[in-house]
Amino acid sequence: MRNIDRRAVLAGGTALGAGAFLPARAFADGGPMGAWTPLAHMPFPVQEIYPAPFRKSSDPGTSLKPKPLDLLVNAGGLTPDGAFNVTPKVTFYDPAYDAWGFATFLPEPRHHLALVNNNGFLYGVGGFARDRNGGWQMRANNWRLTELDGDWKEMAPLPHPQAESVTQSLNGFIHMAGGRAPAGSHNTEWADHIDTDEHWYYDPRDNRWRSLAPMLTPRNSAAGAVVNGVLYVIGGRTVSDGNLNAVEVYDPLSDRWEQARPMPKRQGGLAAAVLNGKIYVFGGEYFDPRPGGVFAESWEYDPDKDEWRAVAAMPHPRHGLGAVKLGEAIYVLGGAAKPSGEETSAALDKFEI
């Protein structure tokens, strides 16, 4: 990794990840429940994040093969301290060393910034700015990072501000579906926004966004995943109806959405990742009944069978967290242990099946 002094590895190492290993258990049907391993904490507590996988270097060498995605990257988020509790910091985790480091900071502080790896580049899309004018100033920015120690480049912005969406790479394009959008000319606080069903895709070849078929259900704070060439939108919530368990599937060949089997529970503010062709969903929060709480539940969805089952519960229940697949494991990070942003977490746990 180049210029390691700019993003020196922080306190970590294998010793920091040497917590008790939670062994795999089995259901009555013999299927594995999975296992959790605590790892080196993030450099600081942070929530409302959408991390993504990245690579150590883009040096092409003599091989035409794509570089492995062997790092986890997080950008921005809400923190317990700092100016207006929102950060521009970009951190990365290297599982080879169980250690964290810093990459080039964002051009501006953001929370709910959607990170997505597309064609080997890291993009940061949408999100909210927060200052004395308001805490939920939705943005349409689209930034691209080529190297961890490089500069973020301004790309074509979204057609209009949109955030808390499902943002995934599919067939070389970036898809952004649902979330929140400004209800009118005001765009400073949560009450200024509405749930949206809008669905956009970004084409890096001509640096443009275009519209696609809208989702069936407008919602925000859902989880997303791509399996077998289709996009899944899972759970989430609406302002009027609270948490949802709806699952919708988008086929890019027909530009069409269909419903899949709903989740066993209604969960919003959750995270998802794909491992061995199955989708794993973690955490989330609820507000009813009051005072609300966070979910410890983890779920596995089999796209071939259209079936859900429970897997090992999270050792650190939380919402506003991230989940990233690296190698043969899913890394679950950050979030908050109580609803509405209380008890922000720096936890990093590895989930394996």
Q: What is the pLDDT of residue 30?
A: 54
Could you read off the pLDDT of 160-202 as tens digits, one per residue? 999 999 999 999 999 999 999 999 999 999 999 999 999 999 9
Q: Can you tell me the mean pLDDT for 33-42?
A: 97
CB < 8 Å & 24+ apart, contacts of 136-143 = 136/188, 136/189, 136/190, 136/192, 136/193, 137/187, 137/188, 138/162, 138/163, 138/180, 138/181, 138/182, 138/187, 138/193, 139/110, 139/163, 141/107, 141/108, 141/110, 142/202, 143/106, 143/107
Q: How far, in Å, are 163, 181, 187, 188, 194 from residue 191 at the CA level?
A: 14, 11, 9, 8, 8
CATH of domain 4-9+32-352: 2.120.10.80
How far are the Cα atoms of 16, 173, 282 from residue 245, in angstroms, in the given order?
36, 27, 13
How does pLDDT run across 40-81, given as a tens digit for each residue? 999 999 999 999 999 987 554 445 566 788 999 999 999 998
Which pLDDT score is estimated for 32?
58
Predicted pLDDT at 67: 75
> What b/e string do you get for 33-56 counting C-beta neighbours within 10 Å, with b at 16 or more?
bbbbbbbbbbbbbbbbbbbbbbbb
pLDDT digits (tens, 9 = 90+) for 300-329: 999 999 999 999 999 999 999 999 999 999
31 falls in which pLDDT band (50, 70, 90)? low
**Against a cut of 0.75, is the pTM above it?**
yes
